[in-house]
């Protein structure tokens, strides 16, 4: 027994030293991981998730270059500090996982839902959108309210993980939902007749009607509007988020943000 107590007394300092070292290493790792703003500055590169969903993002298939409302905002923000942007293609439904797994650093035009806020952080809003219906067949009155749409007789197409889908699907459990992976597939559901209508933002439907002049947009009552934000990895260090908030405030104050929105959404403010 005496030998055992002597051994434990000799062992204790070594155990404490290892524990202290591990704690310091862990603290350093957290600090390093959390300083996203400095990492972007050092690399002079920020990775932005991009979803093929005009007018938010639109990829030029010939050149591979990304354009759209979000790239315009991002380029305006990061060009000021000499940071280049690398766009990483993703989907709305997998964007949270993409941020968490470090595939990309930011994602614009992403709605800050309570569920998402548990997993990632968000900036202040970069704008606001209304949820709307697009139909190629009448009567439009059939879509005048969300209550009218909540019926099995209406086949409604929507994109998995999109803000409209997450907000409205729980409120309309009777609707015959057709959930697809991309905006292109959502429009294809409507054009092929597999869906009677689709639901997305008034901004996105406005772009569709501007290009095709075929269909009717309805904003059902009660009007459901939602701000859209920039999503980023959750962190105790708020420096990147606070910096982005400051940039959005500045763009809003000098009118730049309104001009960018008006370029893609005529009549928007």
Helices 239-253 and 69-79, interaxial angle, to 10°?
Answer: 110
Q: Which range of residues forms the domain containing residue 149?
A: 129-225
The more confident residue out of 8 and 67 is 67
- In this structure, are 112 and 91 located in the same domain? yes
Compute the C-alpha angle 158/164/170, nearest 5°: 90
How many Å is the maximal CA-CA distance in the chain? 92
63 and 147, same domain (yes or no):
no
Shared domain check, 215 and 139: yes
Q: Specify whether 141 is located in the same domain as 191.
A: yes
Neighbours of 229 (CB within 10 A): 23
Please check whether residue 158 lies inside any domain of the structure.
yes
Q: Would you say residue 103 lies in a domain?
A: yes
Can you list the alpha helix ranges (DSSP code H) found in 92-137? 95-100, 114-117
Label each residue of 57-68 as H, E or C.
EEECCCCCCEEC
Give pLDDT tens digits for 53-83: 888 999 999 999 999 999 999 999 999 999 9
Run of H or E residues at 19: helix 2-34
Q: Does 88 share its domain with 162?
A: no
The answer on 154 and 26 residing in a single domain is: no
Beta bridge pairs of residue 57: 53
How many structural domains are present in the chain? Answer: 3
Mean pLDDT score, 9-13: 52
Q: How many angstroms separate the CA atoms of 65 and 267, rounded?
A: 27
Confidence label for 106 from pLDDT (cuts 50, 70 and 90): very high
How confident is the model at residue 225, as a pLDDT?
87
Is residue 269 a part of any domain in this protein? no
The two three-digit tokens of residue 41, written as one number: 């500055």
Tens of pLDDT, residue by residue over 227-252, are 999 999 999 999 999 999 999 999 99
Residues 134 and 120 in one domain: no
| In a shared domain, residues 2 and 77 | no
């Amino acid at each position: 027994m005496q030998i055992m107590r002597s051994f434990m007394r000799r062992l204790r300092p070594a155990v404490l030293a290892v524990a202290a070292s591990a704690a310091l290493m862990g603290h350093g790792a957290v600090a390093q991981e959390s300083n996203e703003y400095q990492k972007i500055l050092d690399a002079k590169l920020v990775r932005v998730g991009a979803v093929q969903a005009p007018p938010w993002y639109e990829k030029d298939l010939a050149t591979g270059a990304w354009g759209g409302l979000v790239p315009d905002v991002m380029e305006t923000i990061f060009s000021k500090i000499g940071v280049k942007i690398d766009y990483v293609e993703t989907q709305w439904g997998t964007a949270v996982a993409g941020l968490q797994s470090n595939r990309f650093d930011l994602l614009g035009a992403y709605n800050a839902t309570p569920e998402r806020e548990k997993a990632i952080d968000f900036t202040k809003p970069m704008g606001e959108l209304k949820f709307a219906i697009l139909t190629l067949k009448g009567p439009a009155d059939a879509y005048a309210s969300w209550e009218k749409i909540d019926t099995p007789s209406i086949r409604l197409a929507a994109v998995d993980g999109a803000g409209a889908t997450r907000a409205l699907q729980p409120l309309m459990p009777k609707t015959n939902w057709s959930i697809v992976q991309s905006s292109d597939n959502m429009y294809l559901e409507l054009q092929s007749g597999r869906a009677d209508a689709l639901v997305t933002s008034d901004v996105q439907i406005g772009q569709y009607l501007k290009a095709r002049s075929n269909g009717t947009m309805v904003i059902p009552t009660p009007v459901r509007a939602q701000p859209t934000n920039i999503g980023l990895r959750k962190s105790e260090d708020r420096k990147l988020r606070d910096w982005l908030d400051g940039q959005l405030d500045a763009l809003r104050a000098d009118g730049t943000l309104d001009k960018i929105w008006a370029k893609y959404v005529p009549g928007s403010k």
